[in-house]
């Protein structure tokens, strides 16, 4: 992986996801467990953003599958000197996904009351996926195959990327500053996004074009962008004490 010159590599326009086609991709999940990314410190930094922001029932850890864990470590180790990778969110409980979607949809409905319901759902989906626990089509973060990431400086201070994480606005689109970089500040934002994008994509991730921070590996969106015949990860959850007791006693859960 070579990201030292990535500020000179433009981000090409990214195809908009075709959600019906993505939902039709079969999933072949072998049941790989989730791992806490806090164990990767100090190479990789984590900031469980929804827990920090007080979102109800958000978890205080960033959990992800081993394949992502190792790729994120590789990205962090190969960033240019003075930069660090920060994971803001990874596996996300269904109840949190439901809260995020319902809350944003309510705000979109209030702001764009003149639009029909279908258009308001499209606007909402650009930033929050509809909540789903269905084994054949789960919400991306429920699989442990989606992560939200950003960059920090050597002291751990988050860098300005041109829009804040989860801002529902046009400037949050990954390539926005490829087309709107008329001033030095916006060129800085463009270059930081280039560094993050190329580091993640070169490590095998796929980016959601409406969110500069959202990347996935192994979920259905990743499979669609990479032309894979099947996704690797379905819905999952961190192991629990109760589940361990069930297994050790030979009980059905």
CATH code at 55?
3.30.1380.10
C-alpha to C-alpha distance for 214 and 99, rounded to whole angstroms: 18
Q: Are strands 45-46 and 83-89 parallel, antiparallel or unpaired?
A: parallel
More confident residue, 213 or 244: 213
The pLDDT tens digits of the residues spanning 15-35 come to: 999 999 999 999 999 999 999
Confidence band for 1, pLDDT divided at 50, 70 and 90: very low
Q: What is the pLDDT of residue 253?
A: 56
Is residue 71 assigned to a domain?
yes
Is residue 23 assigned to a domain?
yes
State pTM to two decimals: 0.95
Is residue 157 assigned to a domain?
yes
Query: Which residues contribute to the annotated binding site?
Result: 141, 148, 214
Q: What is the mean pLDDT of residues 127-142?
A: 98
The pLDDT tens digits of the residues spanning 151-198 come to: 999 999 999 999 999 999 999 999 999 999 999 999 999 999 999 999
Is residue 1 assigned to a domain?
no
DSSP state of 27: B
Is residue 55 assigned to a domain?
yes
- 61 has catalytic annotation: no
Q: What is the pLDDT of residue 4?
A: 53
Query: Which residues contribute to the annotated binding site for Zn(2+)?
Result: 141, 148, 214
Number of domains in the chain: 1
Which range marks the domain in which residue 192 is found?
Answer: 6-249
The pLDDT tens digits of the residues spanning 56-85 come to: 999 999 999 999 999 999 999 999 999 999
Q: What is the mean pLDDT of the chain?
A: 96
Which residue of the set 61, 109, 167, 211 is catalytic?
A: 211
Look up residue 173 and give its two tokens: 């689109």
Is residue 89 assigned to a domain?
yes
Q: What is the mean pLDDT of residues 103-130?
A: 96
Q: Which residues contact 189 (CB under 8 A, 6 or more apart)?
A: 160, 161, 162, 177, 181
């Amino acid at each position: 992986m070579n990201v030292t010159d990535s500020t000179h590599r433009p981000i090409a326009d990214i195809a908009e996801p075709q959600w019906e086609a993505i939902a039709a991709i079969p999933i072949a999940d072998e049941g790989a467990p989730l791992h806490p990314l806090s164990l990767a410190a100090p190479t990789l930094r984590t900031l469980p953003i929804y827990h920090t922001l007080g979102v109800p029932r958000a978890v205080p850890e960033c959990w992800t599958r081993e394949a992502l864990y190792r790729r994120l470590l590789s990205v962090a180790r190969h960033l240019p000197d003075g930069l660090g990778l920060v994971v803001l969110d990874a596996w996300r409980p269904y109840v949190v996904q439901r809260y995020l979607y319902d809350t944003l949809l309510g705000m979109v409905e209030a702001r764009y009351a003149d639009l029909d319901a279908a258009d308001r759902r499209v606007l909402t989906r650009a930033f929050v996926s509809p909540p789903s626990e269905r084994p054949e089509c789960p919400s991306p973060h429920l699989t442990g195959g989606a992560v939200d990431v950003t960059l920090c400086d050597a002291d751990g201070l988050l860098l300005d990327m041109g829009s804040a994480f989860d801002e529902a606005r046009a400037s949050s689109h990954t390539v926005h500053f490829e087309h709107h970089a008329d001033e030095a500040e916006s060129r800085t934002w463009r270059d930081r996004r280039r560094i993050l994008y190329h580091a993640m994509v070169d490590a095998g991730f796929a980016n959601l074009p409406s969110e500069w921070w959202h990347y996935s590996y192994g979920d259905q969106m990743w499979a669609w962008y990479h032309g894979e015949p099947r996704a690797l990860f379905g819905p999952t959850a961190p192991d629990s004490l109760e589940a361990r007791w069930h297994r050790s006693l030979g009980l059905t859960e």
